[in-house]
Amino acid sequence: MSAEATSIRFVKGHGTQNDFLLIPDTDATLGEQLDEAFTRRIADRHAGLGADGVIRVVPAARVPGHEDLDDVEWFMDYRNADGSVAEMCGNGVRVMARYLWESGLADGPMLSIATRGGVRTVHAEPDGTFTVEMGHAKPASTRQMSFVAVGGNTWPATPVWVPNPHAVVFVDDVAAAGLLTEPPQVRPAAVFPESANVEFVVDRGPRHIALRVWERGVGETRSCGTGVCAAAWAAMRRDGVGAGSTYAVDVPGGQLSVTERPDGELLLTGPAVLGVRGTVDTES
């Protein structure tokens, strides 16, 4: 280890097997060290620790643009496995909240966390699950048709932001998306200027869907919290159900539920698990 290397703590956790490395940075001193290259190295599943994303847990007061938030102490500095910055992560924010509670860095049954996509409030439920107020879904600002193409197939897509961009595709069989070894093509670029996560969604029963998801900067993952919200929101519109409805959503890593409140707020409920803890050097 060189003189410049620093040993930092990490905690690994997951929400329906969408897994993350949490890096506590309570003094806000690690920002420059946790760059794209470092993120890619530790998130690598073969040469690193392995994760879908990396979350720096940092005081909101030390993050430019978030210093004056009332009653919001923590900021979720989230990066995808390839080091790219993302707005937020619905599974990751539950995992971060559980870490803050179990580490004694927060108390009470409710906790608000700042993200690049806005403040997200997490509620600890009596059954051990966690509910996140995910904000309002936003459809595309244009009526231009959208499409997803992969494996020789092309489907119409429903664009929706939660707040990450998503292209929701309803299919007869999730296997129709193939192996998903390459990114699906999302068109047109005018609708998705920053590309999008893609959800391949099937029906399982009344108000019950299942999906596979391709995440920008990661690839196919076992779950995606914002993707689950996007898929449920699109299914609610397709099915013509009113606000107040709840959909069960199966993902390869488990099950989540999404409720749309009468005011349009989407509530995402599911588990959050903490596991391996250790240290890692900032230089290989």
Instruction: Give the residue numbers marked as catalytic.
Output: 89, 224
Q: Determine whether the annotation assigns residue 270 to a binding site.
A: no
Q: How far apart are CA 208 and CA 250, in angstroms?
A: 8
Q: Determine whether the annotation assigns residue 225 to a binding site.
A: yes
Closest-CA residue to 101 (of 120, 86, 123, 81)? 123
Neighbours of 45 (CB within 10 A): 11
Closest-CA residue to 253 (of 95, 123, 138, 58)? 95
Q: Determine whether the annotation assigns residue 18 to a binding site.
A: yes
Write down the number of H helices and E strands in the chain: 3, 19
Q: Determine whether the annotation assigns residue 128 to a binding site.
A: no
Q: Determine whether the annotation assigns residue 91 to a binding site.
A: yes
Closest-CA residue to 200 (of 152, 233, 241, 157)? 157
Task: Please say whether the beta carbons of 254 and 270 come within 8 A.
Answer: yes
Peptide bond into 188 cis (omega under 30): yes
Q: How far apart are CA 225 and CA 268, in angstroms?
A: 7
Task: Please say whether the beta carbons of 33 and 6 come within 8 A.
Answer: yes
Neighbours of 209 (CB within 10 A): 22
Classified as helix, coil or strand, 262 is: coil
Q: Determine whether the annotation assigns residue 153 to a binding site.
A: no
- The values of phi and psi at residue 36, to 5°, are -60, -45
Give 245's contacts (C-beta < 8 A, 6+ positions apart): 207, 236, 259, 260
What is the C-alpha R_g of the chain?
A: 18
Q: Which residues are annotated as a binding site?
A: 18, 80, 90-91, 164, 197, 215-216, 225-226
Pick out the residues of the known binding site for substrate: 18, 80, 90-91, 164, 197, 215-216, 225-226
